[in-house]
Structure 1
Amino acid sequence: MNLTKSDRIRRDYERVVSLTQQLVRIPSVYRAEDPDSNEEKVAHFVADYIRNLGIEVHIEEVAPGRPNVIGVVDSGKPGKTLLFEGHTDVVTEGDRGRWKYDPFGAEIVDGRMYGRGTNDTKGNLACMITAVQSILEDRESFTGKIILCIPVDEESMMLGIKHFIGQGWADEVDGAIICEPEENQVCIAQRGALRVKITVQGKMAHGAISWSGINPNWRMAKIITALQQLEEREQENHGKHSYLKWGTITPTVLQAPVKGDAQINVIPEQCMTTLDIRTIPSQNHHKIIEEIEHIFYQLKREDEHFQADYEIIEDRPPTETDPDDPVVSAVYDAVAEVLEIEPQYNGVPGATDGTFLHVHGIPIITIGAGDRDIPHQINEYVEIQELGKTTEIYRNAALKFLREKDE
């Protein structure tokens, strides 16, 4: 018996809320010091869940206890391939005592589900799975393939998506929907992330006899001041992006000494800082590194004792997808249809797994349930009604992208 549209929406809503609760109640914070604290349990739960839906499942271990799950739905008809991506890892819950509700309890209170990952991004992982389940159960007609990419380690070095691409899974993908909390806005751009570690060398000495040492802290202060000026120049040269605002250079960790104990009357041997550089599409990471090298060169000319080096920890370029790309159009039309509003274009302030799919040549669009400001906070939550809307958006977008023929 065919369901009415309202009955189907109610069915999918109940399923996505239940599935989100089940996912959140399986902690998947990666803790390097605890071999049992990783994504393994939730990944195998997801693998079993989608296998029971009749979906072809592949499990690939990226690191010990950290498996990617890949689901493949083949229509049996030639056509495009659409990828949904939602990661299984979540960030630490922090101080449990500061949570109003159990961070892994997935309690529903006044229309909100609370818990680590409800927003980022187990709720959206549940939405993409439920959307595909709905398509299959209702025997909706489509062409090509749907790939469910469910990787590990998005919150750190993105090892999961790198492995997924390295194994060839992304080679034939025509468009990707990145399932992250974006208030169901159509996000067509992402800021890039360039992480750099800078170390300044000095000479350890007594603080009372400072002339017998070389203080790396004074030299680091000059570097940080020069980097602030570089940020100002970059912002002036590149301006404000429509969706991403400005590129930024942010010193985060500042440490001296780098090794050993700090002592107030000791000049440290080294000083270290890390930079979280966020870029917009018009910026060039290679040129930014050249500017850092030029800062070192200028400071060396002024100070014979200046000695510094840098290490690039991670390089994730900014992304931008043409609004006229078929995957963007499919999502845009789905949002307009489901929410009955004119969709909003926007951008993602941070990098996602979609960054590396973009580098691989795949058009990406980022959209999902959840307040954009809530990820990683104490008392993280998602509006449960929004989970239902997002499921419907994903379902409709897939069918529009993989429709039988172009309209």
Structure 2
Amino acid sequence: MTIEPKTILEAVATREATIVKTLADLVSFPSIVMSDPRQSGPGERECQLYLKDRLERLGFITDLWEPDGPALLAKYAGRAGAHPGRTFEGRPNLGGVLKGSGGGRSLMLTGHIDVVPPGATEHWTTDPFVPTLEAGMLRGRGTVDMKGGVACMLMAIETLRELGMKLKGDVVFTTVVDEEIGGMGSLAMVDRGYRADAGIMTEPTANRVAPLCRGILWGRIIIDGIGGHAELAVKSWDQGGPVDAIWLCRQILDGIDILNRRWATDPRKNHPLMGLSNQVLVTQIKAGEHPSSMAGRAEIIVDVQYLPSEHDEHNLGGHVKREVEAHLARLCAADPYLAAHPARIEWILDADCAEVPSDHPLVTTMQSAASSAGLSPVLTGFGAHSDIGLPTTLGGTPTINFGPGDPSQAHQPNERVAVADLVACTQALALTIADWCR
């Protein structure tokens, strides 16, 4: 059964209130990812159960399961998404399949339901888990990252079902946990066998088609000084005196700035679809033990970006790790104390990335759908990390990013998405499903 694009666009537009209500329902579940990955967030299971019920009402065959973290680690050690210390009790993944009549291409719609903690409540004008609609914007934790996209996925399918459209290809729907701390939920999803001819991950791209994302490395740079009294004249370190780790920390930070300036003009660190070059981002600093003592130790947490073209043999950032390590060694060699007591880096996480060719049929189909929904068809890159690498490189499902919301709103207090963006995203997704799976 063929339905005209105009009919689909109008049908989605008339469901604006239901789209908003669906997202508000999702936001009301405080599905916070915990810093200890052995603990479940207070609303992760409940959020997935809500989606499971909605999918079953649409005719999906559903699958709610708690992944086996240790077994996944043993199977995929050294690969993307395989992280130690993960357990999934109380934090299930959800998968579903809506079977087509046969002979059509399958499409996977995927996203995550875990959200970062809201932070200080005084930074919010309203309760972050009480969704608030104001001036055409829905505010609440996860409205952008990325329950807005999940709501659009669900409503696109629901609209087509209500229109009576019969699809030849299967529609696969997956929502995972653990994305905000490394992506083992997506690894479990791919390991479970969820795949399709192509996929869309609805991370926030401001409704732009983004066929690639960056990989990220998290690292802890450890700088050992020698503690001592901060207020007294002291001997030099080679005569038994102290060394201020904060002073050493400044040198390392300056050296990171130098590396970033070099990367800004390095072709390997730039991509035509990315607005910025790769960077080494300093996100945390910890130093000092007492107000009147020189710091005996400092730690710098860094977030290092890399492109799919920089993959090592495991589709990870091994080459970039070695590049950063070599730069750190050169910085240390230039200082007498650090030459004898070099800083070291411990790698915490390596989250992979992927790129789907710009002429891939899903990319062009999605561009056409975006245009029909009044959106820009111009391709962009997703500047942060997303989980598209795992379904693309491990699962064989070429997956792109496309979702509602300004990505700069992600993780912010008073996170909010425009209702108009939700409607336009749902329209573009519905048109893509109807075209791809016909």
TM-score range, shorter chain: 0.7 to 0.9
Distance change (3 Å), C-alpha of 1:308 and 1:10: closer
Amino acid at match of 1:184: N
Report the CA distance between 1:55 and its aligned residue.
Answer: 0.9
20, 23, 26: which is aligned to 2:26?
23
- Residue 210 of structure 2 corresponds to 187
- Residue 251 of structure 2 corresponds to 222
Q: Is 1:378–2:407 an aligned residue pair? A: no
SS of 1:274 mapped into structure 2: strand
CA distance in 2, matches of 1:103, 1:174: 37
66, 73, 97: which is aligned to 1:72?
97
Query: Which aligned pairs between 1:107-122 and structure 2 lie closer than 5 A?
Result: 107-122=132-147
CA distance in 2, matches of 1:75, 1:45: 24
CA distance in 2, matches of 1:141, 1:26: 32
Offset from partner CA, 1:132-155 (integer Å, 9 cap, x none): 122233332322321111011222
Conserved 8 A contact 1:316-1:356 = no
- Residue 349 of structure 2 corresponds to 314
SS of 2:265 mapped into structure 1: helix
Distance change (3 Å), C-alpha of 1:6 and 1:36: closer
- Residue 378 of structure 2 corresponds to 344
SS of 2:144 mapped into structure 1: coil
Conserved 8 A contact 2:32-2:41 = no
- Residue 387 of structure 2 corresponds to 353
Conserved 8 A contact 1:188-1:328 = yes
SS of 2:404 mapped into structure 1: coil
Offset from partner CA, 1:117-136 (integer Å, 9 cap, x none): 22222122111011112223
Conserved 8 A contact 1:246-1:279 = no
- Residue 153 of structure 1 corresponds to 178
**Unpaired segments of 5 or more residues in structure 2?**
68-87, 312-316
CA distance in 2, matches of 1:364, 1:186: 11
Report the CA distance between 1:387 and its aligned residue.
Answer: 1.6
- Residue 283 of structure 2 corresponds to 252
Q: Which has the higher strand share?
A: 1
243, 253, 256: which is aligned to 2:273?
243
Amino acid at match of 2:203: E
SS of 1:370 mapped into structure 2: coil
CA distance in 2, matches of 1:308, 1:151: 37
- Residue 74 of structure 2 corresponds to none
- Residue 95 of structure 1 corresponds to 120
Distance change (3 Å), C-alpha of 1:47 and 1:383: same
Report the CA distance between 1:357 and its aligned residue.
Answer: 2.3
Conserved 8 A contact 2:367-2:377 = yes
Distance change (3 Å), C-alpha of 1:227 and 1:390: same
Distance change (3 Å), C-alpha of 1:138 and 1:278: same
Q: Is 1:264–2:298 an aligned residue pair? A: no
Report the CA distance between 1:300 and its aligned residue.
Answer: 4.4
TM-score normalised over the length of structure 1: 0.88
Conserved 8 A contact 1:191-1:281 = yes
CA distance in 2, matches of 1:217, 1:18: 50
Query: Which aligned pairs between 1:293-332 and structure 2 lie closer than 5 A?
Result: 293-298=325-330, 299-300=332-333, 303=336, 304-332=339-367
Conserved 8 A contact 2:93-2:176 = yes
Conserved 8 A contact 1:21-1:106 = yes
Conserved 8 A contact 1:153-1:160 = yes
Aligned identity (percent) is 25
Conserved 8 A contact 2:41-2:91 = no
313, 316, 321: which is aligned to 1:289?
321
Conserved 8 A contact 2:306-2:320 = no
Distance change (3 Å), C-alpha of 1:53 and 1:200: same
CA distance in 1, matches of 2:41, 2:210: 35
Offset from partner CA, 1:225-280 (integer Å, 9 cap, x none): 333222222222226432212111122212124xxxx1133334422111111234
Offset from partner CA, 1:257-316 (integer Å, 9 cap, x none): 4xxxx1133334422111111234454643332233323444348535323322221223
Distance change (3 Å), C-alpha of 1:210 and 1:243: farther
Number of positions where the alignment pairs a residue of Structure 1 with one of Structure 2: 395
SS of 1:66 mapped into structure 2: coil
Distance change (3 Å), C-alpha of 1:36 and 1:195: closer
Q: Is 1:395–2:430 an aligned residue pair? A: yes
Conserved 8 A contact 1:223-1:295 = no
Q: Is 1:39–2:44 an aligned residue pair? A: yes
Conserved 8 A contact 2:33-2:180 = no
Larger displacement relative to structure 2 (110-119 or 355-364):
355-364
Distance change (3 Å), C-alpha of 1:342 and 1:378: closer
Distance change (3 Å), C-alpha of 1:210 and 1:364: farther
- Residue 231 of structure 1 corresponds to 260
Conserved 8 A contact 1:188-1:322 = yes
TM-score normalised over the length of structure 2: 0.82
CA distance in 2, matches of 1:69, 1:282: 31
Distance change (3 Å), C-alpha of 1:6 and 1:318: closer
Amino acid at match of 2:298: C
CA distance in 1, matches of 2:400, 2:40: 34
- Residue 303 of structure 2 corresponds to 276
Larger displacement relative to structure 2 (329-338 or 234-243):
234-243
- Residue 164 of structure 1 corresponds to 189
SS of 1:263 mapped into structure 2: coil
CA distance in 2, matches of 1:294, 1:381: 41
Q: Is 1:51–2:78 an aligned residue pair? A: no
Amino acid at match of 1:355: G
Conserved 8 A contact 2:183-2:351 = no
SS of 1:314 mapped into structure 2: strand
Report the CA distance between 1:84 and its aligned residue.
Answer: 0.6
Amino acid at match of 1:155: E
Conserved 8 A contact 1:181-1:368 = yes
**Unpaired segments of 5 or more residues in structure 1?**
none
CA distance in 2, matches of 1:94, 1:358: 33
Amino acid at match of 1:314: L
